[in-house]
Structure 1
Amino acid sequence: MAGLDYFAVESTEDGADNYNKIATTVLQDHNLLSIVEGLHLYIDPEYPLFVATGLIRPPRAAIRVSDVGNVLVQDGKATIAVGDETYLAAMLAMLWNRIGHDNVDQPDRFTVIISNVAIPKDLENWIVIDPAESLFKDLIYAIQVIAPEGFKVRRENYGSDRFSYAASENTLPAEDVDRIIADRFTLMEEELR
Protein backbone atom coordinates (compact mmCIF):
# COMPACT_ATOMS: atom_id res chain seq x y z
CA MET A 1 0.00 0.00 0.00
CA ALA A 2 1.38 3.42 -0.89
CA GLY A 3 2.72 5.23 2.17
CA LEU A 4 3.21 2.08 4.25
CA ASP A 5 6.60 0.43 4.58
CA TYR A 6 4.91 -2.86 5.55
CA PHE A 7 1.40 -4.09 4.84
CA ALA A 8 0.10 -7.64 5.07
CA VAL A 9 -3.28 -9.30 5.24
CA GLU A 10 -3.25 -12.82 6.65
CA SER A 11 -6.43 -14.85 6.44
CA THR A 12 -7.30 -18.50 6.88
CA GLU A 13 -9.81 -18.18 4.02
CA ASP A 14 -10.12 -16.25 0.79
CA GLY A 15 -10.90 -12.58 1.22
CA ALA A 16 -7.47 -11.11 1.86
CA ASP A 17 -7.77 -9.06 -1.34
CA ASN A 18 -11.02 -7.52 -0.10
CA TYR A 19 -9.44 -6.55 3.23
CA ASN A 20 -6.47 -5.12 1.33
CA LYS A 21 -8.81 -2.87 -0.65
CA ILE A 22 -10.87 -1.91 2.41
CA ALA A 23 -7.81 -1.09 4.52
CA THR A 24 -6.24 0.94 1.72
CA THR A 25 -9.38 2.99 1.22
CA VAL A 26 -10.02 3.56 4.94
CA LEU A 27 -6.44 4.63 5.75
CA GLN A 28 -6.43 7.00 2.75
CA ASP A 29 -9.84 8.44 3.65
CA HIS A 30 -8.74 9.06 7.24
CA ASN A 31 -5.37 10.57 6.21
CA LEU A 32 -3.45 7.99 8.22
CA LEU A 33 -1.01 6.76 5.58
CA SER A 34 1.64 9.26 6.69
CA ILE A 35 1.27 8.13 10.32
CA VAL A 36 1.08 4.33 9.95
CA GLU A 37 4.44 2.79 9.07
CA GLY A 38 3.34 -0.83 9.08
CA LEU A 39 0.04 -2.68 9.34
CA HIS A 40 -0.67 -6.40 9.67
CA LEU A 41 -4.25 -7.68 9.55
CA TYR A 42 -4.99 -11.21 10.78
CA ILE A 43 -8.43 -12.65 10.05
CA ASP A 44 -9.69 -16.04 11.20
CA PRO A 45 -13.35 -16.46 10.16
CA GLU A 46 -13.56 -19.86 11.90
CA TYR A 47 -12.99 -18.48 15.41
CA PRO A 48 -14.07 -15.65 14.41
CA LEU A 49 -11.18 -13.29 15.15
CA PHE A 50 -9.87 -10.06 13.65
CA VAL A 51 -6.50 -8.68 14.79
CA ALA A 52 -4.78 -5.53 13.53
CA THR A 53 -1.27 -4.66 14.63
CA GLY A 54 0.50 -1.54 13.50
CA LEU A 55 3.65 0.48 13.85
CA ILE A 56 3.32 4.24 13.77
CA ARG A 57 5.68 7.00 12.82
CA PRO A 58 6.20 9.87 15.26
CA PRO A 59 3.30 12.30 14.94
CA ARG A 60 3.79 15.86 13.75
CA ALA A 61 4.88 18.40 16.34
CA ALA A 62 2.23 20.23 18.31
CA ILE A 63 0.90 23.47 16.80
CA ARG A 64 1.45 26.39 19.17
CA VAL A 65 0.07 29.95 19.26
CA SER A 66 3.39 31.16 17.82
CA ASP A 67 2.82 28.89 14.79
CA VAL A 68 -0.51 30.59 14.10
CA GLY A 69 0.69 34.18 14.51
CA ASN A 70 3.04 36.67 16.13
CA VAL A 71 2.24 37.70 19.70
CA LEU A 72 2.74 41.30 20.83
CA VAL A 73 2.08 42.14 24.48
CA GLN A 74 1.57 45.83 25.15
CA ASP A 75 -0.44 47.93 27.61
CA GLY A 76 -1.92 44.87 29.36
CA LYS A 77 -3.22 43.41 26.09
CA ALA A 78 -1.92 40.69 23.80
CA THR A 79 -2.38 41.06 20.08
CA ILE A 80 -1.91 38.02 17.88
CA ALA A 81 -1.22 38.92 14.26
CA VAL A 82 -2.49 35.82 12.47
CA GLY A 83 -0.13 34.61 9.78
CA ASP A 84 -1.58 31.13 9.21
CA GLU A 85 -5.37 30.84 9.25
CA THR A 86 -5.23 27.04 9.05
CA TYR A 87 -5.42 26.67 12.82
CA LEU A 88 -7.19 29.93 13.66
CA ALA A 89 -10.50 28.28 14.62
CA ALA A 90 -8.73 25.79 16.86
CA MET A 91 -6.69 28.58 18.47
CA LEU A 92 -9.79 30.66 19.16
CA ALA A 93 -11.55 27.66 20.73
CA MET A 94 -8.51 26.96 22.92
CA LEU A 95 -8.25 30.62 24.00
CA TRP A 96 -11.98 30.84 24.78
CA ASN A 97 -11.70 27.67 26.83
CA ARG A 98 -8.60 28.75 28.77
CA ILE A 99 -9.19 32.47 29.34
CA GLY A 100 -12.86 33.03 28.58
CA HIS A 101 -14.85 34.08 25.54
CA ASP A 102 -15.34 37.61 26.88
CA ASN A 103 -11.56 38.18 27.06
CA VAL A 104 -10.85 37.25 23.44
CA ASP A 105 -11.82 39.55 20.59
CA GLN A 106 -11.33 39.07 16.85
CA PRO A 107 -11.87 42.43 15.12
CA ASP A 108 -10.81 40.97 11.76
CA ARG A 109 -9.62 37.68 10.38
CA PHE A 110 -5.94 38.52 10.88
CA THR A 111 -6.12 39.90 14.44
CA VAL A 112 -6.95 38.38 17.81
CA ILE A 113 -6.84 40.59 20.91
CA ILE A 114 -6.73 39.28 24.47
CA SER A 115 -7.64 41.81 27.16
CA ASN A 116 -9.23 42.16 30.61
CA VAL A 117 -7.03 39.35 32.02
CA ALA A 118 -3.42 38.95 33.08
CA ILE A 119 -1.53 37.99 29.94
CA PRO A 120 0.35 34.71 30.49
CA LYS A 121 4.09 34.99 29.90
CA ASP A 122 4.07 31.71 27.99
CA LEU A 123 1.07 32.56 25.76
CA GLU A 124 2.99 32.04 22.52
CA ASN A 125 3.92 28.51 23.66
CA TRP A 126 0.36 27.43 24.42
CA ILE A 127 -0.57 24.33 22.44
CA VAL A 128 -3.36 24.89 19.92
CA ILE A 129 -3.45 21.34 18.51
CA ASP A 130 -1.50 18.28 19.62
CA PRO A 131 -1.81 15.66 16.86
CA ALA A 132 -0.69 12.92 19.26
CA GLU A 133 -3.82 13.41 21.40
CA SER A 134 -6.25 12.41 18.68
CA LEU A 135 -4.02 9.88 16.93
CA PHE A 136 -5.10 6.84 18.96
CA LYS A 137 -8.78 7.71 18.59
CA ASP A 138 -8.36 8.17 14.83
CA LEU A 139 -6.44 4.89 14.44
CA ILE A 140 -8.92 2.85 16.44
CA TYR A 141 -11.86 4.38 14.57
CA ALA A 142 -10.23 3.51 11.23
CA ILE A 143 -9.52 -0.07 12.35
CA GLN A 144 -13.13 -0.44 13.55
CA VAL A 145 -14.25 0.54 10.04
CA ILE A 146 -11.92 -2.10 8.56
CA ALA A 147 -12.96 -4.85 11.02
CA PRO A 148 -15.92 -7.12 10.26
CA GLU A 149 -19.27 -5.83 11.49
CA GLY A 150 -20.81 -7.40 14.54
CA PHE A 151 -17.57 -8.02 16.43
CA LYS A 152 -18.55 -6.55 19.79
CA VAL A 153 -15.83 -8.05 22.00
CA ARG A 154 -12.86 -5.74 21.49
CA ARG A 155 -9.45 -5.18 22.96
CA GLU A 156 -7.40 -2.09 22.06
CA ASN A 157 -3.85 -1.15 22.99
CA TYR A 158 -1.71 1.83 22.07
CA GLY A 159 1.90 2.64 22.89
CA SER A 160 4.43 5.23 21.79
CA ASP A 161 5.14 3.60 18.43
CA ARG A 162 2.60 0.80 18.06
CA PHE A 163 -1.04 -0.15 18.37
CA SER A 164 -3.07 -3.33 18.37
CA TYR A 165 -6.75 -4.10 18.04
CA ALA A 166 -8.46 -7.45 18.47
CA ALA A 167 -12.15 -8.10 17.91
CA SER A 168 -14.43 -11.11 17.93
CA GLU A 169 -17.97 -12.29 18.47
CA ASN A 170 -16.65 -14.50 21.28
CA THR A 171 -14.66 -13.95 24.44
CA LEU A 172 -11.05 -13.20 23.62
CA PRO A 173 -8.66 -15.55 25.45
CA ALA A 174 -5.87 -13.21 26.55
CA GLU A 175 -2.98 -15.63 26.07
CA ASP A 176 -4.00 -16.56 22.50
CA VAL A 177 -4.59 -12.96 21.44
CA ASP A 178 -1.33 -11.82 23.09
CA ARG A 179 0.58 -14.52 21.18
CA ILE A 180 -1.04 -13.58 17.85
CA ILE A 181 -0.31 -9.88 18.42
CA ALA A 182 3.31 -10.52 19.48
CA ASP A 183 3.90 -12.79 16.46
CA ARG A 184 2.55 -10.14 14.06
CA PHE A 185 4.74 -7.42 15.59
CA THR A 186 7.75 -9.73 15.20
CA LEU A 187 6.90 -10.29 11.52
CA MET A 188 6.61 -6.55 10.90
CA GLU A 189 9.82 -5.68 12.76
CA GLU A 190 11.80 -8.37 10.90
CA GLU A 191 10.52 -7.13 7.55
CA LEU A 192 11.26 -3.48 8.35
CA ARG A 193 14.87 -4.08 9.43
Structure 2
Amino acid sequence: MLVECYDKKGAEVYEIIIKQIFQDLVLGASVDDLKAFVNPDDPVFILAIKMKKTSTVVEFKDVASFSYNKQNDVTMILVDDENYLPNILNKLWRIFSRDEIYQPNRYQLEISGNQMDLENLVIDDPHSNLQRRIYDAIFRILPEGFKIIKDMSTKDIIAVVATDELIMDSWIEKAEEYIAELNNGM
Protein backbone atom coordinates (compact mmCIF):
# COMPACT_ATOMS: atom_id res chain seq x y z
CA MET A 1 0.00 0.00 0.00
CA LEU A 2 1.32 3.39 -0.97
CA VAL A 3 -0.36 6.65 0.02
CA GLU A 4 1.33 9.61 -1.63
CA CYS A 5 0.81 13.03 -0.11
CA TYR A 6 2.93 16.17 0.15
CA ASP A 7 1.85 16.33 3.78
CA LYS A 8 3.43 13.37 5.65
CA LYS A 9 0.82 13.49 8.45
CA GLY A 10 -1.98 13.56 5.87
CA ALA A 11 -0.58 10.43 4.22
CA GLU A 12 -0.41 8.65 7.58
CA VAL A 13 -4.00 9.63 8.42
CA TYR A 14 -5.31 8.39 5.06
CA GLU A 15 -3.38 5.15 5.38
CA ILE A 16 -5.07 4.56 8.74
CA ILE A 17 -8.50 5.42 7.27
CA ILE A 18 -7.98 3.06 4.32
CA LYS A 19 -6.77 0.21 6.53
CA GLN A 20 -9.69 0.67 8.92
CA ILE A 21 -12.29 0.67 6.15
CA PHE A 22 -10.70 -2.38 4.52
CA GLN A 23 -10.72 -4.13 7.88
CA ASP A 24 -14.37 -3.18 8.52
CA LEU A 25 -15.41 -4.51 5.10
CA VAL A 26 -13.11 -7.56 5.31
CA LEU A 27 -11.35 -6.65 2.07
CA GLY A 28 -7.69 -7.03 3.03
CA ALA A 29 -7.33 -10.56 1.70
CA SER A 30 -9.12 -9.65 -1.55
CA VAL A 31 -6.73 -6.90 -2.61
CA ASP A 32 -3.24 -7.36 -4.07
CA ASP A 33 -2.09 -3.75 -3.86
CA LEU A 34 -3.33 -0.20 -3.50
CA LYS A 35 -2.00 3.20 -4.50
CA ALA A 36 -3.48 6.49 -3.39
CA PHE A 37 -2.62 10.12 -4.02
CA VAL A 38 -3.91 12.93 -1.85
CA ASN A 39 -3.02 16.56 -2.35
CA PRO A 40 -4.22 19.06 0.26
CA ASP A 41 -3.19 21.98 -2.00
CA ASP A 42 -5.25 20.81 -4.96
CA PRO A 43 -8.55 19.17 -4.09
CA VAL A 44 -7.75 15.75 -5.58
CA PHE A 45 -7.92 12.17 -4.43
CA ILE A 46 -6.71 9.35 -6.66
CA LEU A 47 -7.17 5.74 -5.66
CA ALA A 48 -6.20 2.60 -7.59
CA ILE A 49 -6.80 -0.86 -6.17
CA LYS A 50 -5.70 -4.15 -7.72
CA MET A 51 -8.10 -6.97 -6.94
CA LYS A 52 -6.94 -10.52 -6.40
CA LYS A 53 -8.14 -13.14 -8.84
CA THR A 54 -11.55 -14.55 -8.00
CA SER A 55 -13.18 -17.83 -8.82
CA THR A 56 -15.29 -18.12 -11.94
CA VAL A 57 -18.99 -17.45 -12.16
CA VAL A 58 -21.35 -20.07 -10.78
CA GLU A 59 -24.15 -21.07 -13.10
CA PHE A 60 -27.39 -22.68 -11.96
CA LYS A 61 -26.41 -26.03 -13.52
CA ASP A 62 -23.24 -26.04 -11.37
CA VAL A 63 -25.24 -26.20 -8.13
CA ALA A 64 -28.49 -27.91 -9.15
CA SER A 65 -29.89 -30.76 -11.22
CA PHE A 66 -32.67 -30.09 -13.72
CA SER A 67 -35.31 -32.33 -15.22
CA TYR A 68 -38.38 -31.59 -17.27
CA ASN A 69 -41.52 -33.69 -16.83
CA LYS A 70 -43.25 -33.36 -20.18
CA GLN A 71 -46.44 -35.10 -19.00
CA ASN A 72 -47.02 -32.61 -16.15
CA ASP A 73 -45.31 -29.70 -17.97
CA VAL A 74 -43.13 -28.97 -14.93
CA THR A 75 -39.41 -28.32 -14.58
CA MET A 76 -38.05 -29.87 -11.42
CA ILE A 77 -34.89 -28.51 -9.87
CA LEU A 78 -32.93 -30.28 -7.17
CA VAL A 79 -30.48 -27.94 -5.44
CA ASP A 80 -27.20 -29.73 -4.72
CA ASP A 81 -25.46 -26.91 -2.85
CA GLU A 82 -27.65 -25.30 -0.20
CA ASN A 83 -25.22 -22.36 0.17
CA TYR A 84 -26.51 -20.96 -3.12
CA LEU A 85 -30.21 -21.34 -2.29
CA PRO A 86 -30.70 -17.66 -1.29
CA ASN A 87 -29.06 -16.53 -4.55
CA ILE A 88 -31.12 -19.03 -6.55
CA LEU A 89 -34.41 -17.92 -5.05
CA ASN A 90 -33.49 -14.26 -5.43
CA LYS A 91 -32.71 -14.74 -9.14
CA LEU A 92 -35.82 -16.82 -9.76
CA TRP A 93 -38.08 -14.30 -7.99
CA ARG A 94 -36.80 -11.66 -10.40
CA ILE A 95 -37.90 -13.83 -13.33
CA PHE A 96 -41.06 -15.41 -11.89
CA SER A 97 -43.46 -14.38 -9.18
CA ARG A 98 -43.10 -16.17 -5.87
CA ASP A 99 -46.41 -17.93 -6.55
CA GLU A 100 -45.00 -19.52 -9.72
CA ILE A 101 -42.21 -21.30 -7.82
CA TYR A 102 -43.33 -24.29 -5.80
CA GLN A 103 -40.88 -25.43 -3.14
CA PRO A 104 -42.07 -28.72 -1.62
CA ASN A 105 -38.92 -28.97 0.51
CA ARG A 106 -35.68 -27.15 1.15
CA TYR A 107 -33.80 -28.59 -1.83
CA GLN A 108 -36.52 -29.01 -4.42
CA LEU A 109 -38.10 -26.37 -6.68
CA GLU A 110 -40.79 -26.79 -9.30
CA ILE A 111 -41.70 -24.31 -12.03
CA SER A 112 -44.44 -24.72 -14.62
CA GLY A 113 -43.35 -25.19 -18.21
CA ASN A 114 -40.05 -26.14 -19.77
CA GLN A 115 -37.52 -23.99 -17.91
CA MET A 116 -34.41 -25.98 -18.85
CA ASP A 117 -32.80 -22.78 -20.20
CA LEU A 118 -32.42 -21.67 -16.56
CA GLU A 119 -29.44 -24.02 -16.34
CA ASN A 120 -27.23 -21.24 -17.75
CA LEU A 121 -28.48 -18.57 -15.34
CA VAL A 122 -25.58 -16.99 -13.42
CA ILE A 123 -26.21 -17.59 -9.73
CA ASP A 124 -23.04 -16.03 -8.32
CA ASP A 125 -20.34 -13.82 -9.83
CA PRO A 126 -17.45 -13.47 -7.34
CA HIS A 127 -15.64 -10.89 -9.51
CA SER A 128 -18.65 -8.56 -9.63
CA ASN A 129 -19.32 -9.08 -5.93
CA LEU A 130 -15.74 -8.11 -5.07
CA GLN A 131 -15.90 -5.09 -7.37
CA ARG A 132 -19.09 -3.93 -5.66
CA ARG A 133 -17.49 -4.29 -2.22
CA ILE A 134 -14.39 -2.36 -3.31
CA TYR A 135 -16.50 0.46 -4.75
CA ASP A 136 -18.31 0.58 -1.41
CA ALA A 137 -14.93 0.98 0.31
CA ILE A 138 -13.85 3.69 -2.13
CA PHE A 139 -16.96 5.77 -1.52
CA ARG A 140 -16.32 5.51 2.22
CA ILE A 141 -12.68 6.55 1.76
CA LEU A 142 -13.26 9.52 -0.55
CA PRO A 143 -13.20 12.90 1.18
CA GLU A 144 -16.57 14.47 1.90
CA GLY A 145 -17.67 16.80 -0.88
CA PHE A 146 -15.62 15.19 -3.66
CA LYS A 147 -18.61 14.64 -5.93
CA ILE A 148 -16.85 14.82 -9.29
CA ILE A 149 -15.55 11.32 -9.89
CA LYS A 150 -13.95 9.79 -12.96
CA ASP A 151 -13.97 6.00 -12.94
CA MET A 152 -10.90 4.67 -14.73
CA SER A 153 -11.29 1.03 -13.76
CA THR A 154 -10.03 -1.83 -15.86
CA LYS A 155 -10.66 -5.57 -15.51
CA ASP A 156 -8.82 -6.22 -12.24
CA ILE A 157 -8.01 -2.67 -11.17
CA ILE A 158 -10.53 -0.27 -9.76
CA ALA A 159 -9.31 3.30 -10.11
CA VAL A 160 -10.99 6.63 -9.49
CA VAL A 161 -10.04 10.28 -9.61
CA ALA A 162 -12.18 12.42 -7.32
CA THR A 163 -12.35 16.16 -6.75
CA ASP A 164 -14.75 18.99 -6.04
CA GLU A 165 -13.52 20.93 -9.09
CA LEU A 166 -12.84 20.11 -12.73
CA ILE A 167 -10.64 17.07 -13.18
CA MET A 168 -7.23 18.05 -14.50
CA ASP A 169 -5.38 16.06 -17.17
CA SER A 170 -2.37 15.66 -14.85
CA TRP A 171 -4.58 13.84 -12.34
CA ILE A 172 -5.82 11.45 -15.01
CA GLU A 173 -2.21 10.83 -16.05
CA LYS A 174 -1.30 10.10 -12.42
CA ALA A 175 -4.17 7.57 -12.21
CA GLU A 176 -3.01 5.97 -15.48
CA GLU A 177 0.51 5.66 -14.00
CA TYR A 178 -0.92 3.93 -10.94
CA ILE A 179 -2.92 1.55 -13.13
CA ALA A 180 0.20 0.71 -15.20
CA GLU A 181 2.27 0.17 -12.04
CA LEU A 182 -0.36 -2.11 -10.51
CA ASN A 183 -0.66 -4.07 -13.75
CA ASN A 184 3.11 -4.57 -13.76
CA GLY A 185 3.21 -5.50 -10.08
CA MET A 186 5.18 -2.45 -8.99
State the TM-score, normalizing by the size of structure 1. 0.81
Give the corresponding residue for 1:98.
95
> Is residue 180 of structure 1 aligned with residue 174 of structure 2?
yes
What residue identity is the alignment partner of 2:3? Answer: V
Cα distance in 2, alignment partners of residues 91 and 119 from structure 1? 14
Give the corresponding residue for 2:2.
8
The alignment covers a number of residue pairs equal to: 183
Quote how far apart the aligned CAs of 1:39 are: 0.8
The one-character-per-residue Cα deviations of 1:129-160 (angstroms, maximum 9, x if unpaired) are: 22334444332221111122121222112221
Quote how far apart the aligned CAs of 1:189 are: 4.5
Tell me, yes or no, if the aligned pair for 2:68 and 2:114 is still in contact at 8 Å: no
Quote how far apart the aligned CAs of 1:12 are: 1.1
Quote how far apart the aligned CAs of 1:99 are: 4.0
State the TM-score, normalizing by the size of structure 2. 0.84
Quote how far apart the aligned CAs of 1:188 are: 3.5
SS at match of 1:71: strand
Structure 2: state its 5+ residue gaps.
none
The one-character-per-residue Cα deviations of 1:156-175 (angstroms, maximum 9, x if unpaired) are: 122212221111222211x1
Cα distance in 2, alignment partners of residues 25 and 63 from structure 1? 31
Tell me, yes or no, if the aligned pair for 2:159 and 2:179 is still in contact at 8 Å: no
Q: Which of residues 73, 86, 91 in structure 2 aligns to 1:89? A: 86
Cα distance in 1, alignment partners of residues 4 and 115 from structure 2? 56
What residue identity is the alignment partner of 1:119? Answer: Q
SS at match of 1:15: helix
Structure 1: state its 5+ residue gaps.
1-6
Tell me, yes or no, if the aligned pair for 2:161 and 2:172 is still in contact at 8 Å: no
Cα distance in 1, alignment partners of residues 152 and 132 from structure 2? 11
Distance 1:127 1:187, change over 3 A: closer
Cα distance in 1, alignment partners of residues 109 and 158 from structure 2? 39
Give the corresponding residue for 1:111.
108
Cα distance in 1, alignment partners of residues 134 and 108 from structure 2? 35
Cα distance in 1, alignment partners of residues 35 and 125 from structure 2? 27
Q: Which of residues 108, 111, 121 in structure 2 aligns to 1:126? A: 121
Cα distance in 1, alignment partners of residues 52 and 165 from structure 2? 32
Q: Equivalent pairs: percent with the same residue?
A: 26
